[in-house]
Amino acid sequence: MRELLAERIPGQSLDAPLYTDPDMFPHDIEGIFGRHWFFAATVAEIPEPGDYVTIDVGRFSLIVMHGDDEEISVLHNVCRHRGARVLQDARGSTGNLVCPYHSWTYASDGRLLHAAGGGPDFDPGCLGLRRAHCQVVSGLIFVCLAQEPPEDFDAVMEMVEPYFAPHEMTSTKVAVRQDLVENGNWKLTMENNRECYHCDGHPELACSLFPTFGMTEEQVPEHHRDDWVRMLSAQGRLEERCERYGLPYRLIEEVASREAGVRIERIAMDGEGESFSASGHRLSQKLLGDLPDFRLGDLTLHLQPNCWFHFLSDHIVTFAVFPIDVDRTLVRTTWLVADDAVEGKDYYPDSLAHVWRETNLQDAAFVEMTHRGVSDPAYVPGRYMPSEHLVDGFLTWWTARMQEHLG
Ligand code: 3BY
Ligand code: FES
C-alpha cells in the first residue's frame, strides 16, 4: 500500500487495489476513521436523554448516546465482559445499556453499574464501556477514535460555525431519514459527491442546484453556459441579501491543505431560489432559527473524510458516509425541519425528500458501476477533468493522511 501511495499521480484516480483490495480496507479504516475526526450524527437524531444511534465503520461499532445528564457521548459498542455487541439496533431509546449476553449493565455515560456474581473483590470502576472523543458543534456530532485527536479540527470549526449556526440545527427535528447501502468502496462514494461533472445524471436536482456547482467559468461545459450566466446573476442577488442580513457566504476552500479538510460556500439556487423543489419554492413553511428570508440559497459544506451538508432556509440535509466493507458503503441521509413545523401542514415528508432520494439512487448507481469498472483487470487510473478538482482534493487529502499513518 505504501508503494501504491508513493506512486500516486496527482490528477488521476487511484490504482485499483486502493479501491478494491480487501487487505487494504482495514488500513484505510485505521488510517482515516481510526485517526481523524469524522461526522457521526446530529443531536436532532437523539433529542431525548436515553436516545441513541449506533454507527458501524469497518469493524468498529459506536454508540452515539444522549445521556441522562444531557451530555452527548460516544461509546465503543463492545461489552467489557467478553466483548459482545451491547446494542444491536441502528437506533432506539434505553435507560441503562444492558448487554444481552450476561446482562452487564452500563449507565448511559458508559459506567458499569452492575455485573451479577462478581464477588466481593470485583471492582466495576474501571470496566466502563470505552469512550471515544466527541465534539458537538451547533448540533453536529463529530467523533475521533484516536487517543490524541488532531488539533486542526477546532480551528476549522471556528471558521465555519458562523456560516451554519444561524440555521439553528439545535431547534430542528428529523423529518425523514434514509439509509442507503452503495455497492462500492467508500472513496468512490466521496469522489462522486465532490464533482458536478456528472450532474446531468441528476435531472431532479438540476432544477434547483445549478449544474455548474464548484466550477470556474473556464471549467463550465459548453452546454451549461446559459446556466452559468443565470447562476451569476442569481449569485449577485443572493450576495446582496447576505450582506444586508449579515450572513457569511464567501467561499472557503481548504480541502487538502489542512488536516481537517473543508469547503463551505453559500450558493444561489435556480428558480425561486429557496429550496430543492422543481420550482425552487420552499418545502417547509417554517424558517429555521431566526433566518430573515426564504431566499437564502444553499449553504453547502464539505468536510473530509466522510460528509457533506446542505443548509437551506427551510430545511437541512446531512449526509454521512460509513464504510461497511471494501465494496459496501452506507450513506445515511437525514432531512431536518424546524422543530415547530407540523407534518402534513407545514411540510410533507415525501415532497421534502423527493429530490435527494432520487439523487442518492442515481449516485448509488454511479458508484456501483465505477466500483465494477475499477475491479476489471483492464482498468488503469483515469484523468480528472478540471471541474473535478475537488475529487482530486479529496484524494490528495486522503493520500497524505494514509502516508502519515503508514509512516
Ligand atoms: O452534494 C454535493 O455537495 C454535490 C453537489 C453536486 C454534486 N454533489 C451532489
Ligand atoms: Fe456482555 Fe458477557 S459479553 S455481559
Q: How many residues does the chain have?
A: 407
ipTM for the whole predicted complex goes beyond 0.85: yes
Q: 193 CA to middle of ligand 1, Å?
A: 5
| Residue that the C-alpha cell 441502528 belongs to | 90
Q: In Å, how far from its chain's centre is CA 254? A: 17
Q: Do domains 2-34+152-406 and 37-149 have the same CATH topology?
A: no
CA–CA separation, 310 vs 276, rounded Å? 10
pLDDT per residue over 245-271, tens digit each?
999 999 999 999 889 999 999 999 999
Indicate whether residue 87 lines ligand 2 (CB < 6 A): no
pLDDT per residue over 305-325, tens digit each?
999 999 999 999 999 999 999
CA-CA-CA-CA torsion for 296, 302, 307, 311, nearest 10 degrees? -10
Domain ranges of the chain: 2-34+152-406, 37-149
Q: Which of 88, 97, 101 to mutate to test the pocket of ligand 2 (most atoms within 8 A of CB)?
A: 101
Indicate whether residue 199 lines ligand 1 (CB < 6 A): yes
Minimum CA distance residue for ligand 1 atom 8: 193
| CA-102 nearest atom, ligand 2 | 4
Q: 384 CA to middle of ligand 1, Å?
A: 16
Within 10 A of 240 (CB to CB), how many other CB atoms are there? 10
Q: Indicate if the pLDDT at residue 338 is higher than 90.
A: yes
Predicted pLDDT of residue 116: 94
Taking residues 113-120, what's their average pLDDT?
A: 92
CA–CA separation, 203 vs 215, rounded Å? 18
Q: Does domain 37-149 have CATH number 2.70.70.10?
A: no
pTM here is 0.97
Q: In Å, how far from its chain's centre is CA 74? A: 17
Minimum CA distance residue for ligand 1 atom 1: 193
Predicted pLDDT of residue 120: 87
CA–CA separation, 275 vs 284, rounded Å? 9
pLDDT band of residue 138 (cuts 50, 70, 90) is very high
Cβ contact 319:251 at 8 Å: no
| Helix/strand/coil percent split, the chain, to 5 | 30, 25, 40
pLDDT per residue over 126-137, tens digit each?
999 999 999 999
pLDDT per residue over 159-203, tens digit each?
999 999 999 999 999 999 999 999 999 999 999 999 999 999 999
Q: Indicate if the pLDDT at residue 234 is higher than 90.
A: yes
Q: Indicate if the pLDDT at residue 1 is higher than 90.
A: no
**Cα angle, residue 371 at apex, residues 200 and 311 outer, rounded to 5°:** 50
Q: CATH number of the domain at 2-34+152-406, out of 3.30.870.10, 3.40.50.12780, 3.90.380.10, 3.90.870.10? A: 3.90.380.10
